[in-house]
Amino acid sequence: MSLEKIYGVHAVEALLRHHPKRVKQVWLAEGRSEPRVQALVELATQNKVAIGQAERREMDVWVEGVHQGVVADVSPSQVWGEAMLDELLDRTEGAPLLLVLDGVTDPHNLGACLRSADAAGALAVIVPKDKSATLTPVVRKVACGAAEVIPLVAVTNLARTLEKLQQRGLWIVGAAGEAEVSIYDQDLTGPTILIMGAEGKGMRRLTREHCDYLVHLPMAGSVSSLNVSVATGVCLFEAQRQRGAKAKAKPKK
């Protein structure tokens, strides 16, 4: 079995905490001994993961990106299949929040969206199998550990998946620049699927046709749009804000 190289303190620590059996070896740059690295060493030792030392120049060759002197050899990334969605929804209490990224191909954007989705309490992130970024070492590094916690679900036919989720009672809210309703005026407290399209192109036609509601993000400046990962964070945290306010407003029994 071929191994992947995952790099960065947060990404390696998250793997050791959540999926230690996938980590086969941790490599540290010579001379790294600060508290964050010591905590990582303790985690690796607890899980009986081998620790080795390497020169920074050697590590620079192994990975493309800022490795922070920490690299791990791990078994390949796991992207979930469509069946995982039913299982997740079956065991979820309360109103689920799902994020769909339609045609987001940049790994940095996917990593940032995973991080925001985890922080905002989303249940999973759904992407189409084709023409979409998937889990890579770059995505894991940008996600700062969120890629090891929140499920990334790749589906063959996004339109069909959306239909199934609608049948389960979820409402689909798509972000579109020309939409009349603001994200801040849309009720996001029920079972919700939030769809973000690719930068520039937006959602594909079929995806758009499955939306129950379309919303826009009000823009006060001269720039006409936000980076997709920033826009995703804004929308997810508006959903979280509304849900928190609704929970506080509930009469106590």
Hey, what are 144's tokens? 């700062």
Asked if 79 and 155 count as a contact pair (C-beta separation under 8 A), the reply is no
Is there a contact between 26 and 40 (Cβ–Cβ < 8 Å)?
A: yes
Chain Cα centroid distance, residue 69: 24
Flag whether 200 is marked binding: no
- Rounded Cα distance, 226 and 8, in Å: 27
221 is annotated as contributing to ligand binding: no
Q: How many CA atoms lie within 13 A of 90 on its CB side?
A: 5
User: What DSSP letter does each residue of 50-76 carry, written as one string?
Assistant: EEEEE-HHHHHHH-SS--TTEEEEEPP
- Whether the CA torsion 238, 239, 244, 249 is positive or negative: it is positive
The phi-psi region of residue 88 (left if phi > 0; otherwise alpha if psi is between -120 and 50; otherwise beta) is alpha
Q: Is 214 marked within a binding site? A: no
80 conformational bin, left if phi > 0, alpha if psi -120 to 50, beta if neither? beta
The annotated binding site for S-adenosyl-L-methionine is made up of 197, 217, 226
The annotated binding site is made up of 197, 217, 226
